[in-house]
Structure 1
Amino acid sequence: MIESELISKVRKGDALAQKQLYQLLAPTLFATCLRYTKSRYEAEDFLQDSFVKIFQNINTFRSDGPIAAWARRITVNTVIEEFKKRDLLRESHDLQTHGNHLADNSVNVLSDLSCQDLRNLINKLPNGKKVVFNLFVLDGYNHKEIAELLNITEGTSKSQLAKAKELLAEMHRTQNENARQITRKY
């Protein structure tokens, strides 16, 4: 079935079409939810909340782009809204004193990581830094959009991103050093 036909049926309340749309989008949207949380259980909750909003707002979807991109935006916003409710994004705004400097080697250190290893490291970041990193690096938001979405300044967004990259590089170096020490023992 063509995407436009599927959406038309979903708009009319067709349960089979809703199920098909869910099956089409759920794997990608679940992966998006997992990037923002450490728990599959929490990611499943975010996914369910996202689909409720997707189905409630399907009539606002304009067919000028793919449904997947529209649904992903709703999913990211749903996760961010929930984090705001739980106050999980609040971090010291002293981060701006850190500045926006990021040594190039912090990024280079991460380039040899597999996707799974990088995902594991990202999940270890504090929530505020993890959300900014995901929004900027993986979801393609710019600092102005992130600032508006999270109710922070652009400078805070930039400094949280820089700190996230530095923490990721530091965690990766620590992992490598631990692996070398274990190897030397044997």
Structure 2
Amino acid sequence: MKLEELIKECCKQKIAAQAEVYQLFSGKLFAVCLKYSRNYQDAEDTLQDSFLTIFDKIKQYQNKGSFEGWLKRITINTALQKYRKKEPSSIESKEVEAIDLEEDDFEDSNFDLNFLLELIQKLPDRYRLVFNLYILDDYSHKEIAEMLKISEGTSKSNLSRARQILKKQIEVHQQKKSKCNERTEKHRQIISR
């Protein structure tokens, strides 16, 4: 069934069409949920809530723009609503000096993208949300401020702080790796004698 037909059938609350839309998009939307959730269980809950909202509001989709983009926007909004309900005032932070992550920080061939994603997941919520929205999902600070009900300055500050934390964690990781490589080389030399 074509996507347009699926959407029409979902508007009629047809369970088979809803199941097919879920099958088609749940994987990608779950990845979005993981970015904005603290853990796997929260991400699963967010995904389910997102699909409830999607099927409730599917008649509002007007075939303008990408359907997947519309789904993603609902999913992000659902995740942010869940976060605001859980911790309504914890997004605010103090201003900090901006420190940018340079592309060179990621050029190390030993650098593991999964490790970076783990680091992002470990960021405090207020930093992780802004980092994901700005860096990974291309929202502006103005849009983020509106979505999270914070000032643009706080959005910029939280992004800067997230970058600081990530940069420091990457440096620590690279130092540990360097020491490990030095020990491995010494062991090779001893064995080679």
TM exceeds 0.5?
A: yes
CA distance in 1, matches of 2:105, 2:88: 28
Query: What amino acid sits opposite 1:6 in the alignment?
Result: L
CA distance in 2, matches of 1:89, 1:111: 37
- Over the aligned positions, Cα root-mean-square deviation in angstroms equals 1.7
| Alignment map for 1:127-146 (pairs within 5 Å) | 127-146=125-144
CA distance in 2, matches of 1:12, 1:115: 42
1:85 corresponds to which residue?
Answer: 85
Contact 1:88–1:127 (CA<8 Å) still a contact in 2? Answer: no
Are the structure 2 counterparts of residues 10 and 92 from structure 1 closer, same or farther at C-alpha, using a change threshold of 3 Å? Answer: closer
Contact 1:102–1:162 (CA<8 Å) still a contact in 2? Answer: yes
2:104 corresponds to which residue?
Answer: 108
CA distance in 2, matches of 1:19, 1:122: 32
Query: What amino acid sits opposite 2:34 in the alignment?
Result: L
Matched, 1:27 2:23: no
1:159 corresponds to which residue?
Answer: 157
Contact 2:29–2:47 (CA<8 Å) still a contact in 1? Answer: yes
Where in structure 2 are there 5+ consecutive unaligned residues? 185-193
- TM-score, reference length from structure 2: 0.87
Query: What amino acid sits opposite 1:48 in the alignment?
Result: Q
- TM-score, reference length from structure 1: 0.90
Shift, 1:110, TM fit: 3.5
- Give the structure with higher Rg (CA): 2
Contact 2:101–2:163 (CA<8 Å) still a contact in 1? Answer: no
Query: What amino acid sits opposite 1:143 in the alignment?
Result: H
CA distance in 1, matches of 2:101, 2:139: 21
2:167 corresponds to which residue?
Answer: 169
Shift, 1:142, TM fit: 0.5
CA distance in 2, matches of 1:12, 1:5: 11
Identity %: 36
1:8 corresponds to which residue?
Answer: 8
2:176 corresponds to which residue?
Answer: 178
Contact 1:110–1:169 (CA<8 Å) still a contact in 2? Answer: no
Are the structure 2 counterparts of residues 91 and 72 from structure 1 closer, same or farther at C-alpha, using a change threshold of 3 Å? Answer: closer
Are the structure 2 counterparts of residues 92 and 54 from structure 1 closer, same or farther at C-alpha, using a change threshold of 3 Å? Answer: closer
